[in-house]
Structure 1
Amino acid sequence: MSKPAADTAYVTALVKASGTSFYHGMKILPPPRRDAMYAIYAFCRVVDDIADDDDVPFAQKRAALDAWRERIAALYNGETDGPITRALLDAVRKFDLQPSDFRDIVDGMEMDAGDPIVAPTLSALDLYCDRVASAVGRLSVHVFGDSSPAARDVAHALGRGLQLTNILRDVGEDAARGRLYLPREFLEEAGITPEPQAALASPALPVVCARLATMAEQKFTEAEAAMARCNPRAMRPARLMQASYRPLLAILRRQNFNYSVPRVKLPAWRKLVLAARLLAA
């Protein structure tokens, strides 16, 4: 097996093993674009794992993230050190990916690497969403085949919609880890102590979650409007990602944001149906 094929196999296996809900969205792409997305996701997965390891001191995690900042800088000088960076270099060269977006992702992971995020302000939450989600979107739309200003608008809005939905879906799990991503302003206006377990136990929690769900829905609406100004074929994966996530908000609302029940998700068959419809469109 040649080295490029081995690198592709490595990042593909990492994506499959992760169980990411974006797998089907990436799978519908032509092979060169799909392989580039796998490389981007593999990078995101590795730096996210660094940030999420609660057993590692912050100084060690920051050093590991700094090492990835150095790898990204080296990448743009044509230097690689393993299958992920080799796959990324191929993607960078084919799709004009910008180093600032990779750096933003690492910066977002560093926000998660230190003390747990608890009740960020709305502005801090927006910055976090931009770094961990919209920056990924900015890379992705290039790979999808549209680098227009409208495509960047898609990345801006869709990334925030997806991340806010993730936050709403994971309130219970995050609270168990001492984290709370719900905005401080919403909590204080609802009379909720900005502390994870206190928020989880508060009868006013659904009010806060419903407000954040409305924000997420607004972002999905903005993303849809921006997609209408883009290359329709290039936006197929983005449409699939939105179609896979937006219904979760309705499910959470029906459950009145009850986090004592299993984590909400769309069944795999429904994601496959969505993918088939988009391919046929």
Structure 2
Amino acid sequence: MTRMPAPIDGPNADAFSACNDLAAAKNANLYRAAMRLGPERQRFFLAAYASMRVIDDIVDDGFLELTDHERDYAREDTLIAIDHWQQQIQAAKIDGDNPHPESGPLSQQVFDALRLTLGRSDLEVDPWVDLADALRRDVAEDPMDEWDNFIAYCEGATAAPASIFVYLLSARFDNEIGYTSPLTNPPLYHARDMAIFCYVVHILRDLPDDIKGPDRLVTIPAEILIAADITLGEIRNAIGQKKYDEL
């Protein structure tokens, strides 16, 4: 496993090391980019990324991969887990001096790391709240019929996490006051459009693999398909035929 360039020492080393393990294992490109930041920014990134990774895995791997019947059975518990996760995030921000997390999916170590970064910053919890809203859409399996539905989903699923990285690029750290940013507009203002563009590229890149699964795994608004006069089934057949022709 890739190690952090900046050594983690002191009484909080275990907390950030645990976050590092989660981040290094899940997203090599973003992780490597973040490890070019200074030590204090690295720690903030690790805490933020690990906290989001925990709940994203619960939804993506622990819920969306289930069968229809299993998802119906697990839906309420998964939504409750998202609620508890959001409460833990808010506790890490508001009760920065409280070492005991609210009950929820975040481990003590990840909670501690977030408390020592987000809890000592002028960044609000909005990115985490927006992500929670997007994940609730995933769990509820709300249909994405219109482009506006897609954009609203992107605000939480991709723009919100990206806004944290924008915040870190601008933030300064002081031992006495913690993290502060000189940005005059919210970080989301600077991150939103590029994050959504990258998400569209991500969808198109992964379409040949995602189309093999159920339709719900393909994040393309219905009105876009209608405007193009094509169905997901036709896309699936076309991709399958292209791969057959290449054999």
Report TM bin, short chain. Answer: 0.7 to 0.9
Q: Which moved more, 1:144-153 or 1:56-65?
A: 144-153
In the alignment, structure 2 segments of 5+ residues that lack a partner are 1-8, 102-107, 171-180
Counterpart residue number, 1:71: 88
Counterpart residue number, 2:174: none
| SS, match of residue 139 in structure 1 | helix
Counterpart residue number, 2:16: 8
8 Å contact from structure 1 (residues 96, 142) kept in 2: no
| 2-structure distance, mates of 1:139, 1:95 | 12
| 2-structure distance, mates of 1:104, 1:259 | 38
Counterpart residue number, 2:200: 164
| 2-structure distance, mates of 1:125, 1:259 | 28
8 Å contact from structure 2 (residues 75, 139) kept in 1: yes
Residue 83 (structure 1) aligned to one of 81, 84, 109: 109
Q: Does structure 1 residue 58 correspond to structure 2 residue 75?
A: yes
Counterpart residue number, 1:266: none
8 Å contact from structure 1 (residues 138, 156) kept in 2: yes
Counterpart residue number, 1:40: 48
Residue 149 (structure 1) aligned to one of 173, 176, 185: 185
Query: 1:94-133 maps to which residues of 2 (within 5 A)?
Result: 94-115=120-141, 120-133=145-158
| SS, match of residue 29 in structure 2 | coil
Cα RMSD over matched residues? 2.5
8 Å contact from structure 1 (residues 101, 138) kept in 2: yes
Q: Does structure 1 residue 136 correspond to structure 2 residue 161?
A: yes
| SS, match of residue 177 in structure 1 | coil
Counterpart residue number, 2:230: 192
8 Å contact from structure 1 (residues 122, 183) kept in 2: yes
State TM-score, norm by structure 2. 0.73
| 2-structure distance, mates of 1:188, 1:259 | 23
Q: Which moved more, 1:152-161 or 1:128-137?
A: 152-161
The alpha carbon displacement at 1:93 in A equals: 3.5
Number of equivalences: 204
State TM-score, norm by structure 1. 0.65
Q: Which residue identity lines up with residue 64 of structure 1 in the other structure?
A: A
Q: Which residue identity lines up with residue 190 of structure 2 in the other structure?
A: V
Any idea what the Cα deviations from partners look like across 1:213-272, whole Å, max 9, x if unmatched? xxxxxxxxxxxxxxxxxxxxxxxxxxxxxxxxxxxxxxxxxxxxx9859xxxxxxxxxxx
| 1-structure distance, mates of 2:186, 2:53 | 27
Any idea what the Cα deviations from partners look like across 1:2-52, whole Å, max 9, x if unmatched? 541110110011111113421121011001001101111111111111111
| 1-structure distance, mates of 2:143, 2:204 | 14
| 1-structure distance, mates of 2:227, 2:167 | 40
Q: 1:119 to 1:259 in 2, by over 3 A?
A: farther
Any idea what the Cα deviations from partners look like across 1:120-165, whole Å, max 9, x if unmatched? 4100110111101111122222222253328543211122122212
Q: Of the two structures, which has the highest relative contact order with CA contacts closer than 8 Å and spacing of 6 or more? A: 1
Counterpart residue number, 2:212: 176
| 2-structure distance, mates of 1:44, 1:155 | 17
Counterpart residue number, 2:104: none
| 2-structure distance, mates of 1:45, 1:174 | 20
| 2-structure distance, mates of 1:84, 1:197 | 42
| 2-structure distance, mates of 1:259, 1:153 | 40
Q: 1:20 to 1:118 in 2, by over 3 A?
A: farther
8 Å contact from structure 1 (residues 58, 113) kept in 2: yes
